[in-house]
Structure 1
């Protein structure tokens, strides 16, 4: 390069002379750092930059001359860029200003970076504006510091971009930005507002792991077509994700929300809130997800969570205050969860239209033209984003096609004292070893399995319709299937999810204890008819696990009165007793006609119906009424008479008790 070219740039400082010398020989790296600075990882501070002299100072207008007039690449380390750096609308050569300090405004609005650009460890002391800029190569802003506002609104990154470890102490604007490839914000710190409203992430992964948002974080209307990671991120102010769409997975594992988050009308293929800590509210009105995982999440404030999700995992979830979960269509696993008293889990109606699941923008306008898109977004990317949203909408619609009530599939080992279930499907809910079941309130709107009184080996299926039905819990169904050697399916059959609940194998004794606790809860809430079914189940399990003598007595109790809950059995048993006793009284060896006193006996011993009428009369009175002495009972006849005198009142009492248990409120 000729000297006349460099004279136009009017170099004045020693640093500028080194830079022009490097340009004159065809380019090269100018590293102004000391040996100590190269060996340590610490970034230069603003105070360090203020102390640098001409040997480390490059004027902004000189840098503009190299980039715009001469079009030469700049590869500079450890310099202070003094003045207003204005490169708006320019198509720039390769730029590397790593570990530099820019003390004036930086204007890159509308600029195009056709190759890689690096600002690694760079400190921007004033505002930095990259609005509507286009980065077609790699963009490296990792460990950069923005002490003023940073604007990347409507910027387009067609290759990898990294803001990992970057610090934004002013506002950070990424509204409408497009990230076509990998976008990394891992470990970034936002001490003021960070806005990603309507941004688009089409790469495989968008990483915000370990990022810290001290100011508000805005992701409203953002689209992520790949996985989005917010693992161990910290949100100390409000986090807004309203109407965001995640066609892949959204991972918030170990994230902390100090002020809460708004995820209203968001759409997720997979939402992971594993081990998240909530010190603020979680707003989820209209949230739709194929799978939502709240395992080990901790809610330190009262929370109301509304979800439309096919599968919801809440194992070891901890709610220290009232937790109100409203679920549509999903299957809920609350294994080992700890729910505060007063918590409510209820179902809601499932939306029926696709546009309620995912907000899909129109591909064409009314005039047949393609819908408007960002002026810098490639057409193929626009079409791919729209297609991904349609795919998500179709997949979610298929997931909920056959769903009706939301279902709880596991409360295994959960603490549920004072919790209320309303409108939930409990036909496959496992209660085994749950704590506080005697305080669990199950409303009448919940659905349980129904079963007849018959044992599993009942051989007369046609008579099954004559037998009474009762509500049973899934634990009893599982135990009976196990006893018959039937293979059981997981509570949530999902091979792709290693957190699926294992199949429980309850014992008769544990099921009986579960029934006892649930019965007590209903009795305390004055629901005697509902408690009656659980008492029946408790006795069934006790009978199955009892030893020989106890089993015989319980079987007799079941056969004669259905554990005091089946009035028709007690009355049928009474009729059988009368019939058998009447037949016994027809035996002349056990019954002898005896002379009577004045008048006629109430029952004539010569009547053909006398034996059964006499047996019926004996069953309804402990003492023989006057005027019935027309016979003398001898031998076994006297024994039969004593038996019917005892059994008759007992069976009548059981019938009355059964009616009372079914009608008492």
Structure 2
């Protein structure tokens, strides 16, 4: 076959007159490309072709009829489909639909720079050697479904203007889609890549589907841009999985995928949801992602793993943790392997904090959380919650600051679980209308009962205590006691005792409350002593047992009882009686006898003071100790 330039003779005319010269490769000795041969020469040439023959139609313009005639001439009756040797269609132009369906290419197949104005089909085609499509342009649908690529497949800088169908195709050698562009949907469902598959810097304008795809070699998506949804559900990655700098404008679905060897997944960015539900990570992995939401429902971690995230709301419901898993928030931008930072244009500006949404059903024995927000995290149903490790600054929800009105602050500020918010929201809304400050539960969900919440608080308290975080563990002790106090299954006597403990000192954790009660008790003691406890007249405190008193009375006569004060109550409120009452009350706080002459009522008042006021002082000291304990 010749390699010159077709002079552009008009096809079917047999004359030199016709369109301008084309770039088609001349056929044989005719001096014109297949499209511009005379009818007779074209028929003679096609008749000379046998199945498996080499063809060279570089730059040739094809109509549907012309391509059908060529493939019919190459049809092998034994396999009932065209069989072509080395095929050169570089730069060829296909004006209408191009149907190569089922064709068998026994040599290299070259379609570099080819232009397909309509739909193109290579469905079921078999490429025994290398297939070259770099720089090709597909204006319509490009169908490669169930195609077999036994050699390397090259799709560098290919442009797919319509949908690209590669479902159930098989790539036995290396596959390169570097720099390709898909304006429509890209479907690789059930495809098989036996060698390396490179989609580096590829752009998918529409949805991209790699569901149930098998990557036996390395799967490279470095710098790939997915403008629509990307589906890798059920895919299997047996080799390295490279998503350095990959960007997902929609969802990135890896549900039910399997990663046999993925040391690092990312860093990648996803403006919507990164779905890892049901995925299996069989080897150690570090997932680096800046995503809006990360769903890891029933994800299985069969080896050590680290989730380094930004912006993400993470759902770990029913996650299976066979080895240690760390979820950590990353405050700074991710660094790309080649240097520089990974851009996050798809994500909104703001706080890149990581929020845990749920640990329900997960086993927390191997879980470590670092610098995450647990304000909205659901812990009910979590296994071995007492073994959860919290490192860095992990933030829990807070009780409401209170309500406006006569009682501007009703609840003590403390760390709380979202389940308590849900339970109290229903309880408060049933009692009175209007906002109450507690977050209501999602529609259709029923919050846990106080008995279950007490268990959650107790386990989290132990987790913090094991981490030597006694001050923060105190808040969970408070929450545990609150749930016990509100638990209707407990004995009424126990609940009344807990209510008293709560009212006096906030379960030994509210020093201000205990101090207020102490000051109130002292004030009551001073007032009652002034009115009824201090005698009408007598020696100064501390002199009642002096030697002068003993010598002034006969030893056989008992001491006279101090005279009770009489007269109007207002006249008993004097400075002298106040000073004596204060000394008696203050001495009683530290378990010391006042050594003062008191009336019978005063003795009982002092006894009550010595019983209650030191207890209140001890509760205040205990509360302070709980907040400053290391």
Task: Report TM bin, short chain.
Answer: 0.7 to 0.9
Q: Which of residues 650, 657, 663 in structure 1 aligns to 2:615?
A: 650
Q: Deviations over 1:250-308 (max 9, x none)?
A: 01111111113111111112211111111111421143332221222221112211111
**Aligned runs of 1:31-430 on 2, under 5 Å?**
69-70=37-38, 81-94=51-64, 95-96=67-68, 97=71, 99-100=80-81, 102=83, 104-203=85-184, 205-268=185-248, 269-281=250-262, 282-349=264-331, 396-397=346-347, 400-430=348-378
- Residue 231 of structure 1 and its aligned partner are, at CA, apart by 0.8
- Residue 321 of structure 1 and its aligned partner are, at CA, apart by 2.0
In the alignment, does 2:591 pair up with 1:608?
no
> What SS does the aligned partner of 2:611 have?
helix
- Residue 134 of structure 1 and its aligned partner are, at CA, apart by 1.0
Structure 2: gaps spanning 5 or more residues: 1-11, 13-26, 335-339, 430-434, 550-561, 564-575
Q: Deviations over 1:379-424 (max 9, x none)?
A: xxxxxxxxxxxxxx5xx35xx1344422222222322223222222
Q: Cα gap change, 1:489/1:314 in structure 2, threshold over 3 Å: closer, same or farther?
A: farther
Superposition TM-score, scaled by structure 1 size: 0.74
> What SS does the aligned partner of 1:304 have?
strand
Residues in 2 aligned to 1:216 and 1:489: alpha-carbon distance in whole angstroms: 51
> What SS does the aligned partner of 2:420 have?
helix
Q: Which moved more, 1:289-298 or 1:516-525?
A: 289-298
Residues in 1 aligned to 2:126 and 2:444: alpha-carbon distance in whole angstroms: 48
Residues in 2 aligned to 1:427 and 1:248: alpha-carbon distance in whole angstroms: 32
- Residue 573 of structure 1 and its aligned partner are, at CA, apart by 2.0
Q: Cα gap change, 1:274/1:73 in structure 2, threshold over 3 Å: closer, same or farther?
A: farther
Q: Deviations over 1:603-645 (max 9, x none)?
A: x997432233213322321x637xx1523535xx555444333
> What SS does the aligned partner of 1:609 have?
helix
Residues in 2 aligned to 1:124 and 1:531: alpha-carbon distance in whole angstroms: 71
Maintained 8 Å contact 1:275/1:298 = yes
Residues in 2 aligned to 1:124 and 1:150: alpha-carbon distance in whole angstroms: 9
**Aligned runs of 1:377-526 on 2, under 5 Å?**
396-397=346-347, 400-451=348-399, 460-462=406-408, 469-485=413-429, 503=445, 505-526=447-468
Residues in 1 aligned to 2:533 and 2:97: alpha-carbon distance in whole angstroms: 116
Q: Which moved more, 1:249-258 or 1:134-143?
A: 134-143
In the alignment, does 2:598 pair up with 1:631?
yes
> What SS does the aligned partner of 1:431 have?
coil
Residues in 2 aligned to 1:600 and 1:442: alpha-carbon distance in whole angstroms: 70
Residues in 2 aligned to 1:172 and 1:85: alpha-carbon distance in whole angstroms: 19
Maintained 8 Å contact 1:340/1:417 = no
Q: Cα gap change, 1:115/1:215 in structure 2, threshold over 3 Å: closer, same or farther?
A: same
Q: Cα gap change, 1:594/1:437 in structure 2, threshold over 3 Å: closer, same or farther?
A: same
- Residue 488 of structure 1 and its aligned partner are, at CA, apart by 6.2
Residues in 2 aligned to 1:502 and 1:519: alpha-carbon distance in whole angstroms: 29
Residues in 1 aligned to 2:86 and 2:105: alpha-carbon distance in whole angstroms: 8
Question: Which residue of 2 is the match for residue 661 of structure 1?
Answer: 626
Q: Cα gap change, 1:504/1:122 in structure 2, threshold over 3 Å: closer, same or farther?
A: farther
- Residue 336 of structure 1 and its aligned partner are, at CA, apart by 2.1
Residues in 2 aligned to 1:426 and 1:157: alpha-carbon distance in whole angstroms: 50
**Aligned runs of 1:511-590 on 2, under 5 Å?**
511-546=453-488, 548-588=492-532
- Residue 474 of structure 1 and its aligned partner are, at CA, apart by 1.9
Q: Deviations over 1:335-387 (max 9, x none)?
A: 222334532112223659xx97769xxxxxxxxxxxxxxxxxxxxxxxxxxxx
Q: Which moved more, 1:135-144 or 1:335-344?
A: 335-344
Q: Cα gap change, 1:225/1:526 in structure 2, threshold over 3 Å: closer, same or farther?
A: same
Q: Cα gap change, 1:261/1:599 in structure 2, threshold over 3 Å: closer, same or farther?
A: farther
Q: Deviations over 1:178-220 (max 9, x none)?
A: 11111100001111111100001001x1110000111111101
Which of 1 and 2 has greater Rg? 2
Q: Which moved more, 1:301-310 or 1:468-477?
A: 468-477
> What SS does the aligned partner of 1:530 have?
helix
> What SS does the aligned partner of 2:499 have?
helix
Structure 1: gaps spanning 5 or more residues: 1-22, 24-59, 360-392, 492-500
Maintained 8 Å contact 1:340/1:419 = no
Maintained 8 Å contact 1:271/1:289 = no
Residues in 2 aligned to 1:73 and 1:193: alpha-carbon distance in whole angstroms: 39
Superposition CA RMSD, Å: 3.4
Maintained 8 Å contact 1:172/1:190 = yes
Maintained 8 Å contact 2:441/2:447 = no
Q: Cα gap change, 1:657/1:340 in structure 2, threshold over 3 Å: closer, same or farther?
A: farther
Residues in 1 aligned to 2:596 and 2:321: alpha-carbon distance in whole angstroms: 69
Maintained 8 Å contact 1:340/1:416 = no
Residues in 2 aligned to 1:488 and 1:645: alpha-carbon distance in whole angstroms: 44
Maintained 8 Å contact 1:341/1:416 = no
Superposition TM-score, scaled by structure 2 size: 0.78
